[in-house]
Amino acid sequence: MRSFPLPIALTARLSPVVVLAVAGWALSSGSSSEPQAAEKKPAETTGSRSAPSTTAVPKTYTAAPAPCDSIAEKTVKSLVPGAKAAGKEIKSTDSDLRRTCSWNALDGYEYRWLDVSFEVLQSDDAAEESYRGRLKDRSGGGEVPGLGDAGYSVVDLTTEDKQQTREGVVVARASNALVVVTYNGSDFESKKAPSTDEINKGAIKAAKEAMAALLDGTISNTHL
C-alpha cells in the first residue's frame, strides 16, 4: 500500500505541542440542601454591625472526571477505527479542573481524530460565560437538546493543498462545568472529507457519553 504524506495542517495537529493547545471542557448538574435557619439571638448592645457572611456558595463539581474513561470502547472503535481504546490524556496545568483525552488513528487512508475535554469553573455563572464565549465566533451550527443545561454543535470544512478536513465541535454546560468534544476526519486517497452528518453525529454521540460520565460523578463531587 502506498504511503501518503499528511497535509501540513494535519501533520501539525499530530504534534504533541499542538495537542497541548487543544482546549478541554465539561458539564454537570447537582443540588445541595439548604442549611436550617439559625435561632435568632438578642441583639448585642455594642452598637456595632455584624460582618457580612463570607461563606462560599457550594459548587456542584469540584474536580474534572477522567476523560479517557468517559467514552465507551465500542464508541472509540466506531468513531476512530484503529485507535487504542485507552486514549491518551494530555498534560494539564491543573488536572483537578481541566482534563483532556485524545484518540487518533490512520486506518488505511481514513484519518480520524477525537478529543474529549472537561473543565470545572468556580461557579455556574463563570461556566455560562465561558460557554457563551466559546460560541461567539462560531456560526452555522445549532443547539443540541438534552445535553446538560445547554449544548451546541457546529461543523466546519477546511481545505489545504486540495485535501479536505471536516471538523465538528460540541460545547455543553452542566452547572459549573463544561464539556468540549472535537471530532474530525479526512480521506487521504480521495482527498475528500467525511460527510457533515457523519462528523456531527459522531461528535454529538461522544459528547452525550462524556456528559453522562460527568453526571454520574455528581454525588461524589458535590458538597452535601
pLDDT of residue 75: 97
pLDDT of residue 12: 46
Kindly report which listed range (106-115, 125-134, 135-144, 173-182) carries the lowest average pLDDT score: 135-144
Separation CA 214–CA 66 (nearest Å): 9
Q: Is residue 63 part of a domain?
A: yes
Q: What is the pLDDT of residues 70-128, one digit of tens each?
A: 999 999 999 999 999 999 999 988 888 999 999 999 999 999 999 999 999 999 999 99
pLDDT of residue 51: 44
Separation CA 114–CA 184 (nearest Å): 7
pLDDT of residue 198 exceeding 60: yes
Q: Is residue 87 part of a domain?
A: yes
Mean pLDDT score, 195-216: 96
Separation CA 224–CA 205 (nearest Å): 31
> Residue 185 is part of a domain; what is its CATH number?
3.40.1000
Q: What is the pLDDT of residues 25-65, one digit of tens each?
A: 333 333 333 334 444 444 444 444 444 433 444 578 999 99
Q: Is residue 41 part of a domain?
A: no
pLDDT of residue 58: 57
Q: Which domain holds residue 170?
A: 11-25+59-219
pLDDT of residue 30: 37
Place of cell 448538574: 29
Q: Is residue 40 part of a domain?
A: no
Closest-CA residue to 59 (of 177, 217, 204): 177
Phi-psi region of 216 (alpha: psi -120 to 50; beta: other; left: phi over 0): alpha
Q: How many domains does the chain have?
A: 1
Nearby residues of 178 by Cβ (< 8 Å), 6 or more positions away: 25, 26, 27, 117, 118, 119, 121, 127, 130, 131, 134, 171, 172
pLDDT of residue 2: 44
What DSSP designation does 135 have?
Answer: H
169/34: higher pLDDT: 169
157/93: higher pLDDT: 157
pLDDT of residue 20: 32
Q: Is residue 210 part of a domain?
A: yes
pLDDT of residue 45: 42
pLDDT of residue 10 exceeding 90: no
Q: Where are the beta strands (DSSP E) in 4-138?
A: 88-90, 98-107, 110-120
pLDDT of residue 151 exceeding 80: yes
Q: Is residue 6 part of a domain?
A: no
pLDDT of residue 96: 85
- To the question of pTM greater than 0.75 for the whole model, the response is no
Q: Is residue 83 part of a domain?
A: yes
Q: Which three cell numbers stand for residue 130?
A: 465561558
Q: Is residue 168 part of a domain?
A: yes
